[in-house]
C-alpha cells in the first residue's frame, strides 16, 4: 500500500507542475521585451505627469487626473494578476476578480468623463488619453514580465 500512496503523491505533484507550466517549462522573457516594457511604462507615466504639470488646470483637477492614473495602474496590475492566478490554478475569489475588473473599467470611464468635461484642447485630451493607455498597457507588460521572470527563476534553480 505504501508504494501506491507515494506514487499517488508523485502523480499529484507532477499534475500540479504540469498545470502550473501549462505542460512546458516557463520561458524567460527577453531582455529587450523587459526593457521595452519598463521604458514604455516610464514614458507613459512621465509624459502624463509632465502634461499635468504644464496644463492650465486648477490643482484639484490635476490631483483628480493624477489619482486616476495611479488608480488605473494599480487596477490593471490587479486584473493581470488575478487572471494569471486563475489560469495557473491559484484560487482567486470571484469578488476580488470582479472588483479588479470593475476598478479597471471605472478608472478608464472616469478619465473619459473627466476629459470630456475638461476645458482642454482636443489635442490635449488626446495626449492625456494616449499617455494613460500607454501607461496601463505597459503596466500589464511589466507585471507579466516580473511574474514570468520569478517563475522562470524558481523552476531553474
Angle between helices 59-87 and 31-54 (to 10 degrees): 160
The CA-based diameter of the chain, rounded to the nearest angstrom, is: 77
pLDDT score at 28: 84
pTM of the model: 0.76
Residue that has been written with the C-alpha cell 527577453 in this structure: 30
Tens digit of each residue's pLDDT, the chain (157 residues): 445 544 444 444 444 554 455 555 568 888 899 999 999 999 999 999 999 999 888 999 999 999 999 999 999 999 999 998 898 888 989 999 999 999 999 999 999 999 999 888 888 899 999 999 999 999 999 998 988 888 888 887 6
- Cβ atoms within 10 Å, residue 14: 10
Surface-to-core class of residue 117, CB atoms within 10 Å of its CB (0-12 exposed, 13-18 middle, 19+ buried):
exposed
Alpha helices in the chain (DSSP H): 2-21, 31-54, 59-87, 94-117, 122-155
Domain boundary assignment for the chain: 30-156
Amino acid at each position: 500500500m505504501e508504494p501506491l500512496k507515494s506514487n499517488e503523491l508523485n502523480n499529484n505533484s507532477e499534475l500540479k507542475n504540469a498545470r502550473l507550466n501549462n505542460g512546458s517549462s516557463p520561458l524567460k522573457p527577453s531582455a529587450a521585451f523587459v526593457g521595452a516594457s519598463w521604458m514604455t511604462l516610464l514614458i507613459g507615466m512621465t509624459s502624463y505627469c509632465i502634461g499635468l504639470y504644464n496644463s492650465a488646470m486648477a490643482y484639484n483637477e490635476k490631483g483628480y487626473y493624477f489619482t486616476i492614473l495611479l488608480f488605473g495602474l494599480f487596477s490593471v496590475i490587479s486584473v493581470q494578476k488575478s487572471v494569471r492566478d486563475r489560469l495557473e490554478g491559484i484560487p482567486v475569489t470571484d469578488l476580488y476578480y470582479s472588483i479588479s475588473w470593475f476598478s479597471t473599467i471605472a478608472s478608464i470611464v472616469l478619465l473619459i468623463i473627466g476629459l470630456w468635461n475638461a476645458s482642454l484642447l482636443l489635442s490635449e485630451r488626446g495626449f492625456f488619453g494616449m499617455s494613460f493607455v500607454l501607461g496601463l498597457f505597459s503596466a500589464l507588460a511589466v507585471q507579466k514580465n516580473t511574474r514570468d521572470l520569478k517563475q522562470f527563476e524558481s523552476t531553474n534553480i
